[in-house]
Amino acid sequence: MRFSEFALTTLKEVPADAEIVSHKLMLRAGLIRRLASGLFTWMPLGLRVLRKVEDVVREEMDRAGALELLMPAVQPAELWQESGRWDKYGPLLLRMQDRHNRDFCFGPTHEEVITDIARRELRSYKQLPVNYYQIQTKFRDEIRPRFGIMRAREFLMKDAYSFDADEDGMRRSYERMHAAYTAIFERLGLRFRIVDADSGEIGGSRSQEFHVLADSGEDAIAYCDDDDYASNIETAATAPPGGARPAPAQELEAFPTPGVKTIQQLCELLDITPDQTVKTLIVEGDDVPVALVLRGDHELNAVKAQKLDGVASPLTMAGDAAIREAIGAGAGSLGPVGMPLRVYIDHAVTALADFTCGANEDDLHYKGVNFGRDLDEPETVDIRNVVAGDPTPGGQGTLSIARGIEVGHIFQLGSKYSDSMGATVQDENGKNRSMQMGCYGIGISRIVGAAIEQNHDDDGIIWPAPLAPFDVVLVPINMHRSDDVREAAESLYAELSDAGLDVALDDRDARPGVKFADAELIGIPHRVVIGDRGLARGEFEYRHRRDSESRDLKREEVLELLTESAVSS
């Protein structure tokens, strides 16, 4: 590709609305352009990267025996009513009507459509296992689209769905996808971790996520290498603390706390630390609100809490008016003593003696609160996020926390969809049985952003070789004045292209500084500068994007180095 014909549009300025580095660099390098909230155009340069991700994913899916198909993006409501998700999926689902006022949605995922295909096409256990996949545009009306294409509304996903005759078969299909995903992320050159995960809206039993590790990641991952444990913090379990609780040393005492609304203010007033306090959060319930009680320094875990009996899902904090109506006090002065609502107490709270909490009366708190005396011995539940240093569930080590970007998610669905939609096959005895399903997603477009989060410097993107839009950029100096430079550049361009490399020839009539800056911003792995002075010595100036210095190479050496790197990537 000749840059004179490529309409590169790089930006010097950092766009104001971009929060994280990948979003900034994708805009600056001209990979994407925003159309509206969560909607982006993949510009020619960005599309080259997206296609490279697609190619790797497609190759590994094919290698794993999956069959590619392509389903419609628009789906009839009837299928979603059959599975029961039309009412359950909520505002993430973009709904629409056709000219006959029939309901449709733009697919956020394709379990319903593929189960419909399977129940029509697959009749006998002899046809199984089958794993269908597609690479296709999804739409989810995200509440907070952000980070550019990483949390977009329209995005590209690879979704696969396996069908087996029994559960053992389903587990084998799942393991195959686990292996294929591992191969994909290794080939893409990304640092990643596989973690246990919540099944969320999709449903089913077992699920695991693949996370690209990056400080800007939206997800927190709890892991312990000693114990071979890794889980999304959403599902990382905590156990009741062992050991005896200290005996009460203080009397229960109510004390005025005018203006105190937060744990921090309470701690400053009493000169105590948050882990000596208890906080009470009121969430919406199925009929009436529910109280959730945590140690002052701990964070509520929404995924765990919304599974509790009587708690509304998705978890929703109760409003001020509802809290006042139910309890007669504002959110800043609540506590478990005399709480008129159903109360769930987190495991960690039971270890506390002489703690401080709100008194369910405005501007009033209690100190010296003790279980078994001021309130009943609690039955506790797990509703908090784990923190670094917590014991692992196996008990062999302690947890560390890292941040990750979810790029893949695999599920064992079982018969959730095949039961509700009647997707059966005949077994060996001629009896009809629901097929056992798995589903497997990869965020193709999100991978592009995640790769940049992990691979960049002050000058721009540093693509892992398999993702780079071009393998090498040739930068001729004064090509428009020097025939020698032009001839050397053109012949190298032709030879490298013939060798199968994606070569960019920066033949724009621009200053070398501009060309170098663009090459670095775009993140092309190899750069070869061609100038009169070097040519006189029979040399080219070579630099890898990760190197700080360039070095002089003979033409043969350039060819050898680049064709070798093409073979190894």
Binding site for ligand ATP (CB under 6 A): 109, 140, 142, 151-152, 155, 157, 200, 202, 406-409, 441, 443, 445-446
Please give the Cα distance from 289 to 302 (Å, whole number).
15
Please give the Cα distance from 280 to 285 (Å, whole number).
15
Q: Which does 322 bind (CB under 5 to 8 A by kind): ligand ATP, Mg ion, none?
A: none
Q: Report DSSP letters for 269-287, one per residue.
A: HHT--GGGBEEEEEE-BSS
Please give the Cα distance from 380 to 349 (Å, whole number).
8
Minimum separation from the CB atom of position 110 to ligand ATP (A): 11
Minimum separation from the CB atom of position 219 to Mg ion (A): 9
Minimum separation from the CB atom of position 298 to ligand ATP (A): 22
- In contact, 352 and 276? CB cutoff 8 Å: yes
Can you state the angle between helices 444-454 and 21-28, rounded to 10 degrees? Answer: 100
- In contact, 439 and 161? CB cutoff 8 Å: yes
Minimum separation from the CB atom of position 532 to ligand ATP (A): 48
Among 23, 158, 409, 416, binds Mg ion (CB under 5 A): 409
Closest CA relative to residue 405, chosen from 119, 130, 193: 193
Minimum separation from the CB atom of position 186 to Mg ion (A): 20
Q: Which does 404 bind (CB under 5 to 8 A by kind): Mg ion, ligand ATP, none?
A: none
Please give the Cα distance from 403 to 221 (Å, whole number).
6
Q: Which does 152 bind (CB under 5 to 8 A by kind): Mg ion, ligand ATP, none?
A: ligand ATP
Give residues with Cβ within 8 angstroms of 236, minimum separation 6: 196, 222, 385, 386, 399
Q: Does 138 bind Mg ion (CB under 5 A)?
A: no
Looking at beta carbons only, is 147 or 355 nearer to ligand ATP?
A: 147
Give residues with Cβ within 8 angstroms of 432, minimum separation 6: 424, 425, 426
Quote the DSSP letter at residue 91: G
Looking at beta carbons only, is 38 or 441 nearer to Mg ion?
A: 441
Minimum separation from the CB atom of position 218 to Mg ion (A): 11
Looking at beta carbons only, is 266 or 407 nearer to ligand ATP?
A: 407
Please give the Cα distance from 493 to 498 (Å, whole number).
9
Minimum separation from the CB atom of position 208 to Mg ion (A): 10
Please give the Cα distance from 157 to 108 (Å, whole number).
10
- In contact, 292 and 279? CB cutoff 8 Å: no
Per-position x/- string for 114-133, each x denoting binding to Mg ion as judged by CB under 5 A, each - no binding = --------------------
Place of tokens 């444990």: 229
Partners of residue 279 on adjacent β-strands: 294
- In contact, 425 and 128? CB cutoff 8 Å: yes
Q: Which does 384 bind (CB under 5 to 8 A by kind): Mg ion, ligand ATP, none?
A: none
| Segment interacting with Mg ion, rule: CB under 5 A, options 161-169, 183-191, 219-227, 406-414 | 406-414
Per-position x/- string for 417-446, each x denoting binding to Mg ion as judged by CB under 5 A, each - no binding = ------------------------------
Looking at beta carbons only, is 181 or 542 nearer to ligand ATP?
A: 181
Q: Which does 301 bind (CB under 5 to 8 A by kind): Mg ion, ligand ATP, none?
A: none
**CB-nearest residue to Mg ion:** 409
Name the amino acid, one letter, at 51: R
What sign results for the dihedral spanned by CA atoms 118, 120, 125, 128?
negative
Q: Which does 65 bind (CB under 5 to 8 A by kind): ligand ATP, Mg ion, none?
A: none
Q: Which does 385 bind (CB under 5 to 8 A by kind): ligand ATP, Mg ion, none?
A: none
Please give the Cα distance from 80 to 384 (Å, whole number).
33
Give residues with Cβ within 8 angstroms of 260, minimum separation 6: 266, 269, 332, 333, 363, 365
Q: Which does 157 bind (CB under 5 to 8 A by kind): ligand ATP, Mg ion, none?
A: ligand ATP
Q: What is the C-alpha R_g of the chain?
A: 29
Q: Which does 20 bind (CB under 5 to 8 A by kind): ligand ATP, Mg ion, none?
A: none
Minimum separation from the CB atom of position 212 to ligand ATP (A): 9
Please give the Cα distance from 258 to 224 (Å, whole number).
44
Looking at beta carbons only, is 199 or 565 nearer to Mg ion?
A: 199
| Segment interacting with Mg ion, rule: CB under 5 A, options 337-345, 371-379, 405-413, 430-438 | 405-413
**CB-nearest residue to ligand ATP:** 443
Q: What is the helix (H) or strand (E) element at residue 120, kind and residue range?
A: helix 111-121
Please give the Cα distance from 241 to 384 (Å, whole number).
13
Q: Which does 148 bind (CB under 5 to 8 A by kind): ligand ATP, Mg ion, none?
A: none
Q: Which does 107 bind (CB under 5 to 8 A by kind): Mg ion, ligand ATP, none?
A: none
Minimum separation from the CB atom of position 138 to ligand ATP (A): 7
Looking at beta carbons only, is 303 or 522 nearer to ligand ATP?
A: 303
Quote the DSSP letter at residue 463: -
Residues near Mg ion (CB under 5 A), total: 1
Q: Does 515 bind Mg ion (CB under 5 A)?
A: no
- In contact, 296 and 274? CB cutoff 8 Å: yes
Q: Which does 28 bind (CB under 5 to 8 A by kind): Mg ion, ligand ATP, none?
A: none
Binding positions for Mg ion, rule: CB under 5 A: 409
